[in-house]
Structure 1
Amino acid sequence: MNEAPPSTFLPGLAPAPPPSLLLASLSRLDLLAAPKSTLVDLRPSVYAYATSLAQESGGATNAADAFETSFARVWLEKVLALGSRALARGADDTDEWEEAVDRAARLLADMAGPSAQGSMVKTYLLPHAAHWPTSALAYPTPPTTRPGSTVPFAPRASPAVSWSDVAEQALALTIRDGTLLEASTGHRTWGSASILSHLLAANPSRFFPPRPGSPSRDPLRVLELGSGTGLVGLTAAAVLSREGPARAEVVLSDGGDEPEAVLSNLRDNVAANSARLSPDVHVRVERLDWRDYLLSAGESVASPTSSNAPPHAERFDLLLGTDLVYERDQAVLLHAAAAGLLRFPSASLNPAPTFWLALPIRPTHAQENAQVAALFPPAASAPPAAAPELQRTDPATRRTYRLVALEREELVGPSGFAATGAVRGRASAMGELRYCVVRIGWQEVAA
């Protein structure tokens, strides 16, 4: 890192230096510790990115980073104490001490982590799949230190293809993150969103296979559940604008705690990226309450003409969702919404309607993850009849289905809490998590 660490440029505080010197040092520390605009490069595989970070900094560097972070925090706390005493004495003719106190307090809040930070605008760079020479791509062999079940979630270039060549083309999306204190979890872009967004951009044919038929056919309908800041839905819209079907409709939805604040930020993010989208790809934001899709006792499917029909009686070809289950019984609501919104199979639909779900594998959420696995079980060669609340009947064909996991992949990637509390080096603040990406679809069950 070219920037000098804080211990080499922060001035001593005994005796107290003039506030003008402190303000200059605070400006330098602000640029180093808490940038308000961040570039997030999701073009290479996150697996390779995390590996390169580990190689670039060993234990000594990690220890140095921890020291520098601690040094900066202690220095800021002392500045607050000095400034408070100066203000109490009335020794602030130029208002410089008041400004120093305010900036030191904001820096300490920024270094405390995302829940205490102010809003941040991030530019996400996503791979341009059309420029990836697929014949020269290969998966790296996981090192012996990683479990055998984990694989990188994106290919890396062989020696014949450099990352600099690949990186010349990219999708760029601008996303504003708020804070956990500003509204709810919907104001943060979580790690699973980065994972699925990378996958969508790096391998679009996996998620948006070519649709046979004339350009006049119905548009591809895509819904992101629990969009939050909208990174995944906007990635889908950008990829479809670049190389998708002639027409597509992408709906970004949310309805959690304080939904109006989340939806307002979501609309702003859509507007900020509208120039990157094709006129044939229509994007809109809607409030969606999953509770509207819970079935009443003895009800197999809500009829579009019934008085208690949910807001979206029309269904979608593709559902996308990330980091959607973090409390007990949220999985039940998620299942109800997915079952009420995913289009039923049909001979005229190709590809089959699909729900892609990405979740972190956190030990603290083992029960929630187990509940997801139970509600979306692996597909069976001879599926038994499911519990009534898990079944849905297509009114058009009278066939009964349940949602099952058709494919499950475990991946390793950044936790999404990178570098907010570090003031030197990146690896010490770059946490890793394991994620699962599940492809969910309908399977017919016995009546």
Structure 2
Amino acid sequence: MESLAPTSILPPLGRLLSTPGQKVHQALQGLRSVYFPLQRSAVFIPTAKGPLAALKASHVKGDETPRVIDSGYASAEEDEDEHDDTTTTIDGRISQAQKSLRPTAAADDDEDDPLELLRGDAFERSFAIKWLTGFMSRAEPWIASVDEGSAEGTLRSELLEDAIRILSAFNGDDDEAELVELTRSFSFVTSGEGSTSPVLIELNDAPVSAEDHTSVGLQSWGSCILFAERLCVDTQKYLADPRPVEERGRPLRILELGAGTGMLSIVAAKVLSAMDPPPKIVATDYHPDVLANLKRNIETNFPTTAKNPSCPIEVYTLDWESPATQAPFDKPFDIILAADVVYHPMHAEWIRDCVSKLLLKPTETSSGGVFWMFMAIRSWGRHEGLDKMVDGIFRCPEAKGEEKGLEEGEGQGEGEGKQREERERRLVFTSQENVEKQGGIGRADEAGYKFSKIMWL
């Protein structure tokens, strides 16, 4: 019987760039057959005739089953596992399962099932989890090394999704949960006056659930990393207090939507640590697992001590479709931040309506609050074109047509006209920048990013 031990079937990660997708597919299928035989692979291997057409045909239109969404840049620096395909040893060790799977001259009918022995081998199981984690951290350059429009490019992207599914399945075992989490360290350059020290952040990236697509916030995404870089480099631009000077006696109020791992809120708290009075920063999300991981990350970066008994960031649940009205949402926010938060056609409308209720309104002396939104442009896959939907929601109305009727009409009193003006106010793009994709950041389906400043009109 051919060995299915992970140490035998998983290709060396150190030579991943030269490994074809078919070999990785076979390795993942081997893992699945051993540990999760009932889990179905989402990968379709094309035939010689019309490979791209075959790939597209494998995805049934109307199938709304949530697929695993991967951040694509898990950065755990695992050791290079340069094991040979034919070797059965790692660091001089031979696993119990491999011994059991070696052919023997005579096997008793009542001998233990080799697959059961393999599943129970803690060393092999740990190796499989470590390999999958390392594969995630190296997948981006592996995918980028081939034409993304080719059958091989499509296959490699699907294999990344498949690896995440298997890794998430391993996470279903409480004994292995900690092994599949990634602790990631970030160092962001700053340009603030009188300080050249980088902003250091440590985050826990947990596996995305294979069954619940709303748990994507368990990982740090490319948009969030690029946005955080900008907050550090140009704090005065992106976190500038929009209020008139005479109204700055109260703390600046900052809200993060879809905070996920909490990167933006943590960065904001660090770069504004010297502000007096200290800002009130509220990080929000919806999924319970995401909120738990968010709190964990904040506690890691801001441990409470006798000298610092309070945390600069508060965590709350926020439903965009039906936002809360109790504290801290009973008062408007001066700045709202969001990075890569749209994964469904309805999200853009929900976010617009939610921000409309929570962002500081304009006054006679102020233009109101600012909403910064950083979003990935996905060129294919189930999230293709969502950036265009966001553009449609927040686009500035034409000089004629939609804008007609905003001005005070004939016969209206000044008070009535002002009330109508308040009702007709809308959130629109005041600027939008196209940001190029950077090597090593972002997943395969991201062609670039849009960074938008949204205010009241």
Shorter-chain TM-score bucket reads 0.5 to 0.7
Aligned equivalent of 2:190: 128
The normalised TM-score by structure 2 is 0.58
Match among 311, 329, 335 for residue 318 of structure 1:
335
- The equivalent position to 2:433 in structure 1, one of 397, 400, 409, is 409
What is the one-letter code of the residue matched to 2:391? A
Q: CA deviation at 1:122?
A: 1.1
Cα RMSD (Å) of the superposition? 4.5
Supply the distance in 2 between the matched residues of 1:310 and 1:356 (Cα, whole angstroms).
22
- Tell me the SS of whatever aligns to 1:370: helix
Q: Which of 263, 272, 279 matches 2:291?
A: 263
1:208 and 1:353 map into 2 onto residues whose CA distance is: 11
Q: Distance in 2 between matches of 1:407 and 1:278?
A: 39
Deviation of 1:6 (Å): 5.0
Q: Name whichever structure is richer in strand by fraction.
A: 1
- Offset, 1:83: 4.9
Map 1:14-413 → 2, pairs under 5 A: 74=85, 83-87=96-100, 98-113=121-136, 115=164, 116=167, 118-130=180-192, 169-181=197-209, 184-209=215-240, 213=245, 217-242=249-274, 244-255=275-286, 259-274=287-302, 282-293=312-323, 312-349=329-366, 352-364=368-380, 365-378=383-396, 384-385=402-403, 398=422, 400-413=424-437
User: C-alpha displacement at 1:176, in angstroms?
Assistant: 0.8
Give structure 2 stretches of 5+ with no counterpart: 1-11, 16-72, 103-110, 113-117, 138-163, 169-179, 407-416
Cα distance, 1:281 vs structure 2: 7.9
Q: Which ranges of structure 1 fall in alignment gaps of 5 or more residues?
A: 8-33, 40-67, 133-165, 294-301, 419-428
How far is the alpha carbon of 1:328 from its aligned partner? 2.3
Write the letter of the residue equivalent to 2:216: T
Deviation of 1:411 after TM superposition, in Å, equals 0.9
TM-score by length of 1: 0.59
Note the alpha carbon deviations across 1:84-113, whole angstroms, 9 max, x for none.
Answer: 34146899xxx9x94542333223322442
- Are positions 1:436 and 2:450 aligned together? yes
| Paired residue secondary structure (1:264) | helix
Q: Which amino acid in the other structure matches residue 288 of structure 1? A: L
Report sequence identity in percent. 22
The Cα of 1:431 is off from its aligned counterpart by 9.3
CA deviations over 1:25-72 (Å, ceiling 9, x no partner): xxxxxxxxx998569xxxxxxxxxxxxxxxxxxxxxxxxxxxx99x75
Q: Partner amino acid for 1:378?
A: C
Secondary structure, aligned partner of 2:352: helix
Give the aligned length: 316
